[in-house]
Structure formats: C-alpha cells, structure tokens
Amino acid sequence: MFFVGLAIFDGAVWCVDSPSYTSMDLSREPVYPLFLALLRFLFQKAGADVMFRELPAYLFGAVILQSFLWVYVTVRLGTYVYSVVERRCTENKALFLGSAAVLLQIAVPVLNRFVANRGSMYSECIMTESLAMPLFVLICLRIYILIEDYTAKNLALVFLLGVLIASIRKQMLITILLWEAMAFLLWLLAPRTRDIKKFLVTTLMVALSIVSVSVIDRTYNYALRGQFVMHTGNSKGGLDTVLYTAKAEDSRLYERYDDSEEYPQLSTLYTQIYDECVSRQLTIDFAPGYELGDKSTVLNSDWLSMATHYAYSYDVIGFELVMPMCDKYVAEKFPELDELSAHLKEDQVEKVLLNELMKKNIAGVFKGESKAFLYVLSANILEAFVISVANVSPRILVRISLYIYIAFLALMIWAGAVRKNMACLNAALIAICVTAINSVITGSLIFPQPRYMCYGMGLFYFSMLCCMTSKKC
C-alpha cells in the first residue's frame, strides 16, 4: 500500500511540464498524452469531470493507475527474484534477496518523497517519468529473462516493451540500446555464450523497434494534426549545450544559408542568440571552474562548479532565448505559415543551428580544437555517472561514488570469474551497461539531473548485493 497510500494522501502533483502533456503538445511523445486523454474522456462519460484537490479529477485517477503500475512492477521483480533464488539456493536466501529487490525499488521513491527537495514521488506526478520509471525496471527484468530463456514469447515481450517505453519518453531509447548491448556482449563477444543467430535476430528486432517508435509517433501526429511528422524539440537540448561553448565567430557557419529561401539571414539569428547569451553571462566563459580557459579539464579544474553553471544556463538558453527568438525569426521570415507549420519550421531552424555547431565541435575534438566542448561533455558524463548511484552534494559523494563503481566492478568480476554465478553476472552486466548508456547519452545531449539518472539506481544496488552474496548453488 506504500505507493497507492501516498498517492491518495498526496494527490496528483502538477509539474512544470504537466501542461504540455494534458494539451497534447507537439513536443511530446504520444503515449502519455493519449493515456491522459483517454482518462479524461472516460471521466467525462461517467459524469465525473469535476475538480478534485484543485485539479481535474481524471488526473487523480491517472495517479492511482500509475501507482498501481509501480506496485505491480515492484512485486513482479521481488517474486521473480524469489522464484529464481529459491530454485538454486535456500528459501531464506530467496526471501532475503526477494525482499531486498522490493525494498531497494521502494528506497528511491522514499528518497524523492521524504529527503529530496522535490517532496513527491514520480508515481504521483503528471509527467512521463510516472510510467517510464516502472516500465524501465520491467524491461530490464524482461531482458534478463530473455537472456536466461531465449524464446519467441520473451523476444516479443522485450520488443513490445521497448517500443512502448520509447513512445512514452524518448530518453528510454536507452533500453533498446541496452538490449543490443547485451546481445553484443553475450551472443557475439563472449566465446562461451556466442550465438550469431541470436545476435542477428536481436539486431534486426532492435532496428525494427526504432522504426516502430518513429511510425507510432508520426501516425499519432497525423491523426491529431494532419501531419505525418515526429514530435518536435529533439534538437533543443543539444543546441543549448553547444551554444554554451559557442563563439561569436561561429556565425560564419551559417552564412551560406543567409541567401536561401529555407533559412534567410540565419547567421544574424545566431549572432542575436549568442550576444544575448553573453550579455546574460550564460556561456562557459563566465563559469567558475573555467579559469584556465581552453586548458581546463575535469582533472585540473573545479568541474562541478562549471557543471552547476552549465545546468543553470541550460534552461535559460533554451526556454528564455532559443525558443522565443526562433519563434520571432519564423514569424518575421515566414508570416504566411499557420501555427502548426510555424512550429515545425522553428524545429527545423533549431536543427540546422545544432547540426552546424555540432559538426564543428566533433571535428574540433579530433583536431584538438574544441577543448571547451570536450570539457563540458566530459564533466556532464562524469556527473551523470555520479548521480546514477549517489549525488554531487555534498562533494564527498563524488569520491564515494568512484569507490562504489570500483566495488561494483570488483564484485561483478568475482561473481562471474570466481563464483561462476552467471545469474549474478548477467544481472550486474545489465545494471552497469544501462547505467553507462544512460550516463553517456544523457550527459552528452542534456544536462544530467536526478530525475534523468535515477531509473536504474535500485537495480544497480540490488545487482551489487547479488554479486556480494553470490556463491555456487
């Protein structure tokens, strides 16, 4: 009753992003807005379209359903762990590890509700995390089951869950990448478990799942808006990051577009955005931890202070500068466009701005030129790894997280190489792989914050516990 009880006590939690889901905004993936729209329709049909605790009653219904999903996934994980361990070891150990699996999944929401500043659990929030977080645990479990029991049914379940969760939140494409990574490690790289057929089938299914996510997104927007397009906003996060380390002279990257019909005077738009970033001290040049300029690295500078400045600048650049200035640009250059077409055009403009800066930075990394970009990238990825298992405040936790990872890898190797316990090894591989994939991708494209990084925290510590207590049994 933990999740449901607190949901009843707290009610629905309205967040900054919530309006974009209830309004079915073009910037959002399809599943969660459809989930809310279906509940709204059902409540209206039942005559229950009323306000409850200052919010529409259907949102409270959504929170109750979300909480039951968290309950189901947590219990499913615990009972599965119990059943596996009970077959191989003693009943006491099965009870211990099954209970630990449940408690560690509950521990993360407890921290969010009672310790963290947010003061609420994600299961209570009107945001994609409310569905994505439990489904993340479920798909990790299904990938583990697929490794243990490779059947058409288990393969189909992983495929369907991957498509579903990525259609809820695009960040969850990491689960599809996890599926491919595990196939590569176990069925291609490892001589003992090598199975080329399984690897090729998985690769084909992964490709099909990514295509399916795109088709579902486009079909949803076609049905709702008459345009067969993906949701927008996929470039904004990356653009905010590259603008943080941009230079005034980068305007020349866009001069070739100035006389085009598609993006007229684009270099002027870039200069306007950049100048505003500088005037508000939002670029890396104004960051603490960048006193050494291009010589700054995570080894010789206060990268945490720089990362904090970047995190602050990220949202300001995106929401207060890029979005309104691109809106104004499109309105002035393309006044004939309707609202939807203008939104799509703005998204295209952001994509071009991002692509040119990103190409310059990637080429610069190999030439030894894009040092500021590399500094931000490495600091963000490092911070993402830290937040995945601990926090960056107080700072001692940064060093502790390093020891946690060392201990995790040592225990994983011990469980696999010494104890020959493949069940523990596979669980640990899933936990460390998904942590690494999420840290690298999230740290590369957007700034890491706890709600992006805590998906696998419970699984990480549980698999670590499994390795710690592993034995031949």
Q: Write the pLDDT tens digit of every residue in 424-433.
A: 999 999 999 9
What are the boundaries of each domain within the chain? Answer: 1-127, 130-228, 236-369, 378-473
Handedness of CA 239, 240, 246, 248 (dihedral sign): positive
| Residue 301, SS3 per DSSP | coil
DSSP label at residue 415: I
How many Å separate Cα 62 from the centre of its chain?
A: 22
Long-range contacts: 396-402, Cβ < 8 Å, 24+?
Answer: 398/304
The confidence score (pLDDT) of residue 286 equals: 98
- Name which of 137, 281, 240 is nearest 446 in CA terms: 240
CB 442 within 8 A of CB 448: yes
Angstrom distances, CA of residue 320 to CA of 150, 280, 315 = 50, 11, 8
The C-alpha atoms of residue 464 and residue 453 are separated, in whole angstroms, by: 18
| Residue 115, SS3 per DSSP | coil
* Pair of tokens at residue 196: 């080329």
The radius of gyration of the chain from alpha carbons, rounded to an integer in Å, stands at 24
The confidence score (pLDDT) of residue 116 equals: 78
pTM recorded for the entire structure: 0.96
The confidence score (pLDDT) of residue 23 equals: 97
The confidence score (pLDDT) of residue 115 equals: 84
The confidence score (pLDDT) of residue 472 equals: 59
Average pLDDT, consecutive stretches of 10 residues, N- to C-terminus, the chain (473 residues)? 92 95 97 98 93 94 98 98 93 96 95 84 96 98 97 98 98 97 96 94 98 98 97 93 96 97 97 98 98 96 96 95 97 96 97 97 94 97 97 94 98 94 96 98 88 96 95 61
The C-alpha atoms of residue 82 and residue 89 are separated, in whole angstroms, by: 10
- Name which of 323, 332, 117, 150 is nearest 235 in CA terms: 323
Q: For 191-224, how does the pLDDT look when each residue is reduced to its tens digit (9 = 90+)?
A: 889 999 999 999 999 999 999 999 999 999 999 9
Peptide bond into 394 cis (omega under 30): yes
The C-alpha atoms of residue 446 and residue 376 are separated, in whole angstroms, by: 11
| Residue 52, SS3 per DSSP | strand
DSSP label at residue 55: E
* Pair of tokens at residue 126: 């009107």
